[in-house]
Amino acid sequence: MKIVVVEDEIRIREGICNLIQKMFQEHEIVGEAENGEEGLNLILATKPDLVIMDIMMPVMDGLEMLTKLYHQKMKTKFIALSAYSEFAYAQKAMKLGVSEYLLKPIMVGDFTQAIKTIENQCAEEKKVNPQVLGSKENILFGMIYGGLKIDEELCQFIENNYAFDRNMLFSEMQIYFGNEYQNKHEQIEREIEHLLKEKKDVRYCFLNVPKDQMFLVFLYTSQDLHAIERWIQNYLLYQRKTDSRYKNISVGWIDINGIADIKKANQKLSKYLDWNIALGESIIISYPQVLKIQTVPCVYPIDLENRMKADMCAYNRSGVQKSILEFQKHFAGGQVYSPKEIKESYVRFLWGLINVSKEIGALDIEKFEQQVILEMIMSAKNTEELRIVCTKVFDSIITKEEKGTSAATLTVKRAESIVNEFYNTGITLDEIALKLNITPEYLGTQFHKEMGKNFSTYIKEIRMKKAKELLIGSQLKIYEIAQKVGYADAKYFSRVFKECTELLPAEYRKMNK
């Protein structure tokens, strides 16, 4: 950076210059001045990147100097120095474009931080300067995703270099690939470009956005833009029937009235790409036409959810998988539901599966992040992404065989086996020890050592788990369930169940139905 120091106190002025030369050798001090009038002339002559200036100075104070420079619309940065009593002046200086304000006496740490802040500001501004950005693609990216200000300078630069009128009507097409972005986008981009070359008077620009897993196509032409949209729609429809690479891609279209609206239009279209979930991937989601689509209320398939829960409680994985497939087909039956309602149905269905799996201890927690699942559903833009979420949840369910795997010794494993076979008979530790021909004391000690819990707690947990399975997956009465899990007294069973779950059996069943 080129720096000018304007300060009437020579000791402070020299101290600032020495500090800069010592700590920021990459910057150059191009001049010093002892009052505002000298400072003004020096700044206009040298056009520095940064001015370090006092507020109160003779001949012309800092505020007057700043006011004159403000009307010159210079892009210089300013650091203002003042005593505490001059704070009101400093506030006015801030309104005139001062970036940093330091109190006298100046602390080295504060001064160093102020310079670094200015460095960062300059670096960010250079990134979004059209002269630095140069290419049409970089400028578009800066307008949509960066902080590039759409001002007179930028509009003039685009018009002079790219013959792009600032008020021109043009269109944006978004082509979303999701997880297939890396595998597909380059080939399909080349094919779309080859297609557009057939229209001699259609000008276009491609912009890749890996972060959003899509690329954008901006089109401007003297032709009817809607005719171009229909032409591309027919091309994509044919490709999807004949080329598997075009499957599971979401495409959106929006007309933009001048470059000032480009960022807002891009964000607006992105919000509606998930309509491919409701309409099918063969349709270009065209805004604002998508707002006119008539939908019907979404009918949630509660029977499928109940069947899925019952199969889950019986560890019938194939039955659970079948219910998931039928659930997915339910939304492809020809009715047009809003994508929001479809996603909410997926959340409800998969949350039911997750909760039942948790209750019966059949969910692999290490493989599972519930917040990630929710985000995947709500951000999905096509049915393939929803299918992937279902697969992810299903793959996290532990099989009955996996759940039975334990590092316990043979004795404790045999005890576990007996508990799982006879838990409904009221079997005791003494009875199991007798079957294994060992003392109850030894079995109890080994059980606690290897399982991390005593026998009574373990058998209670087994009975409660089985009770939950029956409450969710069957229509048995409460007293019948109590008998099936080893409790002769239904009231005692209800009391134990509430101690473990904080809910009565009937309340638990109602909550999970």
**Whether pTM exceeds 0.75:** no
Q: Which CATH superfamily is domain 2-127 in?
A: Response regulator (3.40.50.2300)
Token pair of 273 as six digits = 């790409």
Neighbouring C-alpha atoms within 13 Å toward the C-beta of 185: 22
The CATH code belonging to domain 407-511 is 1.10.10.60
Rounded Cα distance between 178 and 239, Å, is 18
Query: What residue type is assigned to position 61 of the chain?
Result: D
For residue 243, which of 253, 232, 235 has the smallest C-alpha distance?
A: 235
Spatial strand order of the sheet with 285-287 comes to: 202-209, 214-221, 169-176, 250-257, 285-287
pLDDT value at residue 255: 93
pLDDT value at residue 134: 56
Q: pLDDT category, 367, cuts 50, 70, 90?
A: low
Span 84-100, mean pLDDT? 66
How many CB atoms are closer than 10 A to CB 388? Answer: 14
The CATH code belonging to domain 134-292 is 3.30.70
Rounded Cα distance between 285 and 279, Å, is 9
Q: pLDDT category, 406, cuts 50, 70, 90?
A: very low
For residue 279, which of 372, 383, 127, 201 has the smallest C-alpha distance?
A: 383
Token pair of 40 as six digits = 């003004």
Provide the strand spans (E) within 259-321. 285-287
Q: pLDDT category, 106, cuts 50, 70, 90?
A: confident
Q: Which residue has the higher pLDDT, 151 or 213?
A: 213
- Domain map (residue ranges) of the chain: 2-127, 134-292, 302-401, 407-511
Name the average pLDDT for the chain.
85
pLDDT value at residue 90: 60
pLDDT tens digit sequence for 173-227: 999 999 888 889 889 999 999 999 888 888 888 998 888 899 999 998 777 888 8
Token pair of 342 as six digits = 């479809």
Which residues are CB-contacts of 289 (< 8 A; sequence separation ≥ 6)? none
Rounded Cα distance between 338 and 193, Å, is 33
Number of separate helices (H) and strands (E) present in the chain: 25, 10
